[in-house]
Structure 1
Amino acid sequence: MHRRFKTAQSLNGSGIFAAAVVAGSILLTLLLAHAAWVQGDRHRLERHVDRLLEATRLVATQSTRALNDSLRLTTARCSADDLTELRVLAFQSQHIRDIGRVEDGRVLCTAAWGVLPHPPLLPEPTRRATAYRFWSVGSTLVDRRISTDMVAAGDAILFVAPDWFGDIARLDPRTSSIVTTRDRRHVMRAWGSEATILPGAREEPWHDLGSARVQLACDDDYDLCVMARTRGSGLADASLQSVLGLCLLGGLAGMGINSMMGASRRRRASLEARLARVIRTDRLHMVYQPLRRLSDRGLVGFEALVRWTTSSGDDVPPEVFVRMAEQTGLGRALARQVVAKAFAEMAPTLQRDSGLYLGINLTAEDLLDMQFHDYLDAQAALHGIAAASIVLEITERSTAMRDDLVRNIHLLRAKGYRFYIDDFGTGYSSLDYLAALPLDAVKIDKLFTQAAGSDSVVGQIFEPMCTMAHALRVGIVVEGVETEQQAEHVCRLAPQAIGQGWLLGRPVAVQDLPTT
């Protein structure tokens, strides 16, 4: 009954987790789609505003040139020669439809209509700027059927083509655009609703107004700015079908992610269960890597290394299953099995040559466990191994609970066991704490050994590490010695150093141990 209840709880928890993964994937998909959509709207709006400003700048340039040229004419105003010259100027300008003459606020003549028998009176200008007067788009005074902008300077007036912007301004129904002065007080042309743009106008090139995008660009030579606003940007303008499609896509992705995570959890759970069985049935095996003096390559000992080969012949890396054992509460059982196997297999070698030692990797938790102390002593006594032939290696990173650890190391060292700090240089312990530990040697990590002698930062640290070891008055063991150049460089810096690595011997089974 209890097991069935726990299973139901587990299934319920898995279902909640799966639902959370799928929901998160849908949300992430919608957010990414919205961001991509908004970014696309920004680029599109920026290009639209730049094109509209360029067209406006071109009209302003042509209008200024045409007005200045007409003012420089020396022909009699509204004479046949004058109208001919005005007509030429109009034809030379792409966006100018007509040029005329004004006097006392009335249009006297134009290049297209000739001399007007009844000169119409100009209304009040929409805007004045220095020598120029502007009238925003409206019916011309000559023919009400024609709408255009007008610009006047002196006695010259020109009529701008009403379609100078072409199809540029008509981006899509969602977009409103305006051509305005920099102070926003005069709107010269608007498409869509200018009221949706001006209230939120800022000086930034672009900014957001809720679900809308607003783009602004101004000309440095003319008092002109172009603004455009797209409403309903991003998912706010997406159809229901698009949103549902994105939700479906996100849901499928979430299901795939959940499936992969579930498979990973099942593989890990399976691996954990298999590791527990392997430890329980004593099916791990040991290999031993030689340690030699670098000065004469004399054999001084071996490091015991635990290995796990599955029934299918696959090797599980030690960094995987050792960490897994520690995380699942199997670390103590694993340490005891390593000690039992290594002592049993190496006892004849250690008894035959008392100058050799066996290194065993332990954790701080093992050393803090007084029952493990008793187990270690019992195994040494059972196999006739002197405590002085055993080196206990702990990593610098495992030096937690410092006071208790130092006290327990002293207890074991008093019995004759020796201690090395493994992976020296990769931990976080301070020099004063390392000095307080009763150590026999430090093992410099292969990361530093393999860079020794190089110009890299890691390589330059190697020599100070050797100096530090001398200051601590402890021996030096270097890991990862793979080339003669590395061995020679280390030997020059630390003549008494012991080396470990493929150059000096690979890990082998007990029956293949070297004798010299």
Structure 2
Amino acid sequence: MIKRITLISASVALGCLATLVPVFTSLYVADKDVQRRDRAELREFAEKAVMRTDLVTYQAFAALSDLDREPGAPCSPSNLELAARVVYNYRYVQDAGAYTEGHYLCSPLLGDVRNNNFALPPPDYRSNDGYLVWFQQKSPLSDVRKDIQIGRNGRYVSIDPGSYVDLVDPARRPIAVIQITTGRLLAVSAGADPDDMLDAWKRSGNVNSDDWNYAVARSSTRPLGVVVKSPRSSVAGDWPKLLAAWLTIGVFAGAALGWLAYKRVSRQLSFPSTLQWAISRRKIDVVFQPIVRLEDNQCTGAEALVRWTLNERAISPEVFVRVAEDNHLIQPLTDLVLEKTIAQLGKLLTANPAFYVSINVGAEDLQSLRFLNRLGASLEGTGIAPAQIRIEATERSFMNAEATRSVIAAFRAAGHPIYIDDFGTGYSSLSYLQTFEIDVLKIDKSFVDTIVQDTASSVVAPHIISMAHELGLEIVAEGVETDAQVAWLRSKGVQYGQGWYYSKAMSAADLAKWLGKQRAPREANSMPANQS
């Protein structure tokens, strides 16, 4: 009897153990997975915060560049008018003006204060390229507020430190910005402990805490760094709630099944699911916009663009392409574009070996050889040369540099030139241009729009063009719409243009007709006189 009781007890214990071990194991694994996801999300948030620091700092330096363009006395009416325009044009610039050794001279906010003897202390930091930085400079207008002030050649701009950390974040995670060279804290979000954030930066985010996760990120263009933190999540810490939930399963089973059915129906009717249906049913159209050589107005190629009409309404590519990226549909969408491009332009490409078409490729396909292998298989036996299919990638596609670099090299080794699309809009580091082997840089339409205007952003296009020339890259200007833009671009050595000035995007059949009309006058002019 005792042996039987012992055996029963052992069986019950083993049964309980066999039941509980998987439960607690799953809780442990779930807790670790939650922590891993939290850290990954926090690292991504830190990268976004670094992009903000780069953007704010870029505006400060661009504003100083604008101030240097106006000759003459620093406090002349024209100089003060320019400074006021700079403050208005650059979102993060609070004030702009002139100074001399140890004193403010003037600004749109201060006015002309050369006789007021407003003292300016020595700078906290001097960069190797001549910039002076005051980390917490109190304005003569306020006894409370302290701005970051950046100066050079007697001109200065003031930046509110809060601009570095005012990211839209529903979770309100603490952020701090560090000047790496000096180790000084430039900005910290409301409610954050400055000492804690600075200590986390010194430890590279490796802080042993049961309550918080930390992450750090560095700017690749300026000596700035970011540290962020978020509360640790815990599944295991909520286990009493999980046990209590079992008591209510029977009551809520019917409601749960109904809810799941509702969610499934809602998912099937969601926009991502509709887009997935459209891709699988080949409802996405491909059109082609000519790329023209500015020197002789000859069309040398075209860009393949996607279009989608749903219920007789055109859906913007900026909307559905982003949805495709967020829902892992960008690869099948790119495959469909490739398939339709070869099917519709195959004869044109084989008949014109110098003509090419460029295809936009998402970030996922720049981190593996999947699309390159598919592209090679698709071209096999068609007579289309690899150089006739060119690859366009946006700046954000280069965020994962290590994985992307080898894939870019593989595309180029296979004969496919690489284009950087919408250059200048990604707020990412410009240093990748020197580390990646690319062939062509495309200037975004937003910068082309300003090239013949006297605006703050009109200085961007010349900088991009100069940079491309120094790196030996060809240039395509997007969004060309006027004669003045064409003349300016040609004078700056830009080789190619693309935009409504030449043609809107069109079907493959219309492109062939358009090319025929473009070539007819040239062929007539090239005929010998006795045949004309």
TM-score, scaled to structure 2: 0.46
TM-score, scaled to structure 1: 0.47
Larger Rg: 1
